[in-house]
Structure 1
Amino acid sequence: MSRSFFGRAAAALLALCAAAMAPTAGAVNPEDLLPVDEAFQLEARAQADGIALHWDIADGYYLYRHRTSAQAGPGFNAGELQLPDGIPHEDEFFGAVETYRGELAALLPGTAEGPRTTLTVKYQGCADLGICYPPQTRTLEVALPAAGGGTSGPAAGLLSGGLGTNPLLRGLGVGGADALPEEQAFTIDAIPDGGNGLLVRLAPTQGYYIYRDQTSFELRGEGLQTGAVEWPAGVDHNDEYFGDTVVYMQPVDVPVQVLREHPDPVEATLVVSFQGCRDEGICYPPMTRSIPVSMPAGQVLEAARTPPPQGVRGSLEEGGPGIVAVLLLALIGGLILNLMPCVLPVLSLKALSLAEGSASRADARRQALWYTAGVLVSFAALGALALALRGAGLALGWGFQLQQPLVVGLLALVMFALGLSLSGVWHFGGRWTGVGHGLASRSGPSGDFFTGVLAVVVATPCTAPFMGAALAWAFAAPAGLAMLVFVALGLGLALPFLLIGLVPALADRLPRPGAWMDTFKQFLAFPLYLTAVWLVWVLARQRGADAVGLWMVAAVLLALVAWAWTRSRMGAPRRWLPIVVLGLLAMAWPLYSLHTLERPARAEAGVADDAGAEPFSQARLAELRQAGQPVFVNITADWCVTCKANESTVLSRDAFREALDRTGMAYLVGDWTDVDPALTRYLQEHRAVGVPLYVVYPAGGGEGEVLPIVLTPQVVRDAIERATEATT
């Protein structure tokens, strides 16, 4: 509660500051502001002791001392930029700083080692009207005395900071035989524009340009993502690579909307992907820049629906093979789900039900068809819910329903009730209740249908091989085609029992009914109890010990209802049915309380169990990657059976930890047991529709490698070696 209070207090304080500033900012007319290169006119001139920098600062404007720097490229051995003392200033953004007004004269000391050099100058300034410009970067070509041009006049390298209007740049070699390094040819900067916007500056050097349509922005920060982009007007350009397109040949400022799921300040990283060329020269390969930004408090804005990836759109437009391949993957993935441990308890009961009816082929066929119907309808309903939430702009993935404690608690109660039935605590209509036959012995199809429903529900914690690609396609495709994928998954799950029911030769191989079945029924209660125990453990991880206590109260009431129901079927229903009704009504209290519990502070639970692991965050990942360190990312969940199997057989073993220690690889673990929008976005960035997700990032930068869903020691060892081979 205290954390929430202080969070609200901080947000209120920031809002108060913003409100105090609002009248000033609101009164500013953008037309009243000078262009940045008129407000701060930059010149650079080579002289005997170095390169002199001079800014003419317009009245009513000022530069920050601590935001001013200069760096020389090849051809000039530079020292540290020498800046005069500035005017003390208490700044609302940076605190106690120094500023310059009127003019600024600085010196970059050093010696010439060639005829010219490229000078990269960075600075930032503001207007007294209350508006600050984004950080500016200017790349200047400066002719040095060694070139024989003396130390005065234009030929000596007197250059203006107005990159778009200076006619001297071409004559001094920009766009000549040697192309500039990409860091000098293209400068990208960004600053927050309030809590819900960014101002991104794209600054190609004179003689270079940036493609508008090849530029994209991605904001990596907890609860943040980019929204609409207001592209400024560019230059129409007929390009041999991209045809008729738009390019930017001069620096432009691009406003980018920031969508956020919470109002709190966030340290984030803006990733800018772009491509550019030299005018009448070479084109650079696609480039990426990561820019740290400190986002202040802002308003919560919902994200618009993300369009399908280009690959999905292409396969939809082309039709045929792409869709058929995806449906085949879905069918195989659903078939493999039958082998997953989370599905086996229910399938064992279904096998028992088919064995019970094996004396009649018609009965076996009926059961198989109704079971298949239950599976298909459930998968279709699950897919429709997922697509509806996707359309509403909510981020989710496979198994999302098990992030809800109420769903986990209800599912555990169902398993507990079925176990009690098989153990003989209660029965329906004088017969043992098995999931394949019973729940309603008077109407067999309903029991078979319910078995299919239950099989789908317990299958969602598992992710089988081949499912990932199919589900990723489904979550991005139009609703109609996406539903076909979910139906194909269901058909794969139901296929073994469907074949047994429809193919007499397979049905004949089932064991014949006999006395052994009663014993087997009672034995099957124990896998169901274990499943209930596992689900209650998940519930404890989600909502703590209080949730377990509430579930136990509900379980006791459920046992009372089952017992009273059986007594009512044996006679005197008027005496026992009120207990059944009251027990069911009483169960509403612990279940409702379970739904209202807050998530406990887990102190990075799920990470503490892994030696050397750190909790995952985009900020920590960006920090490690910027330092050039290799990183192993594990996104997991307590209810994910595949995740736990991988952790037990590979990730918790000494060999894995020794490999991390030997290579210096960081290990980040993200816990998706509960709803976590930041982790969901990370999953979606990697086209993962659920957990587990394993990504290995190489040393020194580069794209991460996504590992298979099911891990083996060899797969993990090879991935670590590939990621660290450059440093070993």
Structure 2
Amino acid sequence: MPLLRPLLYLLVLGLGALARPAWAISESDLLPVDQAFALTAEATSSEQITLRWKIAPGYYLYRHRISVASASREFTAGALALPDGDKHQDEFFGAVETYRDQLTAQLAGQAAAGARQVALKVKYQGCADAGICYPPQQRTLTVELPAGVATGAAPASSLLRGLPGANPVLSVPGQGGIAGMDAAALPAERAFQVDAIAVDGQQLLLRFTPAPGYYVYRDKITLALKNAAGITLLSPRPPAGTAHRDEHFGQVQVYFNQVEIPVPLARSETAAREATLVVGFQGCLKDGICYSPMQRELAVSIPAGAITAGARPQAPQTEAATSTSAGGQAAPAEVPRTRPPEEVLAKAASEDISLGLALLLALAGGLVLNLMPCVLPVLSLKALTLASGNDEGSARRRALAYTAGVLLGFLVLGGVVVALRGAGQALGWGFHLQQPWVVALLAYVMFGVGLNLSGVFGLGYGLAGVGHGLTSRHGASGDFFTGVLAVVIASPCTAPYMVTALAYAFTAPVPVALLVFLTLGLGLALPFLLMGFVPALANRLPRPGAWMDTLKQALAFPMYLTAAWLLWVLGQQRGVDALGAALAGAVVLALALWWMQRLQLRRAPLQRALVALVLLASLLPLGWIARQPPPAARATTAAEGKVTYSPKALAELRAQGRIVLVDMTADWCVTCKANEKAVLDTDAFRASLKAHDAVLMTGDWTTVDPEITAFLEQHKAVGVPLYVVFPRGGGEGRVLPTVLTQAIVDAALTQAGTP
């Protein structure tokens, strides 16, 4: 489980606070990590390096947390030989071995010819008997190689070169302040401010304000309400956090900036109460110390309120916590466990509209999606199918097959995104095109479709079977897979009405969400469904004839253009090298398909096997592309009339009294690009920004970006484009329509500048 390791880590960090009272730990007993575990290394030969830890009394290292790897090409590291440690059952790690006093480890390997020194990356973790565990440590050591014979150990100052700027420190109790810790670290009360107020008699508002560079773990927040008879906490509504990558424990959700969490109340009595909100949480300094679990008791004046009809308070699950009294004694308190954050995303969207209205909007959104630019390739395929002509019975069967493909495509794609969001992933509609290998694969499919339409091959299997080899088949199977392809290609677009329906689906129970996705699919398939079941509409189509072969070849070019667009998106995501790899793969694919056609009527088992290998070879670039890092983004500034989106930059511009138009876009979003061409990249738009002293802030969602996903969720958007105008002088932002015009932008900027 992705969250198991970080939660275990946090438990270990809090070991000291749980093992003994805070007043029993003396600051003078705790050493900086490099004094507690003094590390040196020497090369006894070009094939062996000895590492030594001198461990201070009262401290120990975990064997299973020690690893060494080469950090340079001059040395190929082998196995690390560690002696047996003291075996015991650890409360958190189970059966472990530990080392005290000193540890000598031998690293086998081979130095390159002529190498004078090598670099090693050493990881380790240890604890103090006082009950404090250091965070996992990493050091980069430079070791001089002997000139033919073994030499003594070099001084620690020359052997041990920590990472630039690193000042290893240890986890601290809730009140902060440990000798040897980073001077920049603040006491917990200053690092993490927590406030709570009663908005009214039905809701509290909890506010966390971490100091700059600090963050709070979203999944460690717990709440309890004391001295509030007749009032019960309902599940809170925490906003999406920032995905934070921990080097040792993977992905976690945190809050770096001030965050407000609404906490609904269920009431069985109307009287006002002077209550106490008990808040449990845990936080860290980025690249520094992690604080032990903390607890704050906040006085809250809850005014009189209405009795909640049919309220369902959260289940009475509890977890033990501690609160320090004035006398310094640790007294137990019961803190109800909040539901996991992925289960308590804001449900405002699902509360704003009814299910019936959501389904109606979904049907309308799917219908309008047929008019969006992204659906052009699929419309080209269907135009060819409709023009081929059929009797009424066949037309109905083909319409139903196409509809089934669309419905299944929406059901699968929608189910995947709902499941991944429920698991805490920061995803939105069109998420699959944020994956470079998916973009490259779709480019291959559209390229294969074009080759088929151009007559390069006419086989219904191989990679083309993913695309037009299936969609070009006669009968129900071809129409079914055309419907599936329609969803894959069209899904990055969000049409009017579709946004609200998707927002409803993302917060509704799973069966209701799937019903919304099915209704969206029905809207997309409705025009072709009508063509099959209403003869009067079908009769208006041109009759089949020799012209169809010309039309078929002409329709290959929209497929090629779609493939070119997808390759451009890939280049934006992973750079020109990835683009070149995909182009090379496309050439190999074309060779395989051409060769297939040549062998269609021949019995040549060996050649067919070679063709299969060539076809597989065309897929090899996909794996390489998936591993490539994104190219460095160029940040823009307000002096250029636009800035790159970040929550901090948005807050600073608003504090300066500027009007800000936030444009959330992606290179794979055709509607976004159409709006840019028609409005956002024009001289009229730039003149309007200047006239209103406004700034365009652009967020690029071409690849996964948790901060942009959080912004989308905050404004109940499920994908891009999203345009929000923030007024001068504060206040809520105004969401603009999905399809922009200059008149819409001018009106919004004028309103945003009006006091």
Measured against the shorter chain, the TM-score band is: 0.5 to 0.7
Q: Is the 8 A contact 1:435 1:447 kept in 2?
A: no
Specify the alignment match of 2:54 in structure 1.
none
Q: Deviations over 1:217-271 (max 9, x none)?
A: 367999977445444654437xxxxxx5489xxxxxxxx9988523499962344
The answer to whether structure 1 residue 261 and structure 2 residue 292 are counterparts is: no
The yes-or-no answer on 1:200 pairing with 2:229 is: no
Q: Distance in 2 between matches of 1:218 and 1:411?
A: 44
The structure with the larger Rg is 1
CA contact (8 A) 2:471 2:482 kept: no
Question: Once structures 1 and 2 are overlaid, which stretch shifts more, 578-587 or 257-266?
Answer: 257-266
Matched, 1:383 2:410: no
Amino acid in the other structure paired with 1:424? G
> What is the match of residue 668 of structure 1?
697
Change (3 A) 1:330 1:299: farther
Give the AA of the match of 2:630: R
Following superposition of structure 1 onto structure 2, how do residues 115-514 of structure 1 map, counting pairs within 5 Å? 132=175, 193=188, 198-201=192-195, 213-217=203-207, 226-231=218-223, 233-236=225-228, 244-245=230-231, 261-263=244-246, 268-271=257-260, 295-297=285-287, 304-307=341-344, 309-311=346-348, 314=351, 322-356=354-388, 358-428=389-459, 439=470, 444-514=475-545
How far apart, in 1, do the equivalents of 2:615 and 2:440 lie?
A: 15
Question: Displacement, 1:389?
Answer: 0.6
Measured in 2, the distance between the counterparts of 1:555 and 1:464 equals: 32
Partners of 1:579 and 1:508 in 2: CA distance: 48
Q: Give the structure-1-normalised TM-score.
A: 0.63
What displacement does 1:603 show? Answer: 2.2
Q: Deviations over 1:178-229 (max 9, x none)?
A: xxxxxxxxxxxxx88499x944145x9xxx9997942133679999774454
Q: 1:303 to 1:621 in 2, by over 3 A?
A: farther
CA shift in 2, pair 1:486/1:612, >3 Å: same
**Is 2:12 the partner of 1:29?**
no
- 3-state SS in 1 of match to 2:600: helix
Contact persistence 2:443–2:564 (CA under 8 A):
yes
Q: Which residue of 2 aligns with 1:713?
A: 742
Number of residues of Structure 1 aligned to a counterpart in Structure 2: 518
Partner SS state of residue 228, structure 2: strand
Q: CA deviation at 1:611?
A: 4.4
Q: Where does residue 60 of structure 1 map in the other structure? A: none
Contact 1:637 1:643 in 2 (8 A): yes
Deviation at 1:274, TM superposition (A): 9.4
Q: Does 1:560 align with 2:591?
A: yes
CA distance in 2, matches of 1:307, 1:472: 15
Q: Secondary structure, in 3 states, of the residue corresponding to 2:470?
A: coil
Q: Percent identity?
A: 47
**Does the aligned pair in 2 maintain the 1:218–1:226 contact within 8 Å?**
no
CA contact 1:643–1:692 (8 Å) conserved in 2:
yes
| TM-score relative to the length of structure 2 | 0.61
Q: Contact 1:350 / 1:436 at 8 angstroms: preserved in 2? A: no
C-alpha distance in 2 between matches for 1:306 and 1:628: 36
Give the distance between the partners of 2:575 and 2:649, measured in 1 at CA.
27
Aligned partner letter, 2:374: C
Q: Which residue of 2 aligns with 1:630?
A: 659
Determine the C-alpha separation between the residues in 1 that align with 2:290 and 2:565.
40
- Tell me the CA shift for residue 704 of structure 1: 1.0
1:593 alignment partner in structure 2: 624
The answer to whether the 8 A contact 1:633-1:694 is kept is yes
Cα drift, residue 525 of structure 1: 0.6
Contact map agreement 1:213 1:245 (CA 8 A) in 2? no
Map 1:41-52; keep pairs closer than 5 Å: none
* Structure-1 separation of matches of 2:440 and 2:377: 18
1:294 offset after TM fit, Å?
9.4
Q: Distance in 2 between matches of 1:583 and 1:709?
A: 44
Over residues 287-307 of structure 1, what are the superposed CA-to-partner deviations in whole Å (9 max), with x where a residue is unaligned? xxxxxx995347799973143
Q: 1:613, CA displacement in angstroms?
A: 1.0
Match of 2:159 in 1: none
The residue that corresponds to 1:578 in the other structure is: 609
Distance 1:477 1:587 in 2: 41
Equivalent residue number for residue 7 of structure 1: none
SS of the equivalent of 1:350 reads helix
Residues 679 and 740, structure 2, Cα contact 8 Å, conserved in 1: yes
The aligned amino acid for 2:387 is A
Conserved? CA contact 1:438–1:444, under 8 Å? no
Q: What whole-Å deviation, never above 9, does each CA across 1:270-322 have from its counterpart, x for those lacking one?
A: 447799xxxxx999xxxxxxxxx99534779997314364545657xxxxx81
Distance in 1 between residues matched to 2:458 and 2:482, nearest whole Å: 17
CA distance in 1, matches of 2:396, 2:638: 48
Q: 1:336 to 1:580 in 2, by over 3 A?
A: same
Pairing 1:6-155 to 2, within 5 Å after superposition: 29=22, 132=175
Q: Distance in 1 between matches of 2:637 and 2:590?
A: 37
- Give SS of 2:453's match: helix
Offset of residue 378 of structure 1:
0.6
Partner-residue secondary structure (3-state), 1:346? helix
Q: Secondary structure of 1:268's partner?
A: coil
Q: Distance in 2 between matches of 1:648 and 1:259?
A: 32
1:439-497, CA deviations, whole angstroms, 9 ceiling, x for partnerless residues?
37776222111110111111012111000000000000000000011001111111111
Paired AA for residue 204 in structure 2: Q
Indicate how the Cα distance of structure 1 residues 224 and 714 shifts in structure 2: closer, same or farther if over 3 A, else same: farther
Give the match's secondary structure for 2:619.
helix
Relative to 1, partners in 2 of residues 1:313 and 1:519: Cα closer, same or farther, differing over 3 Å?
closer
Aligned to 2:555: 524
1:568-625 residue CA offsets vs partner (Å, 9 max, x unmatched): 1132343541232111221232111111111121224xx5999421111011111222
CA contact (8 A) 1:342 1:459 kept: yes
Paired residue type of 1:572: R
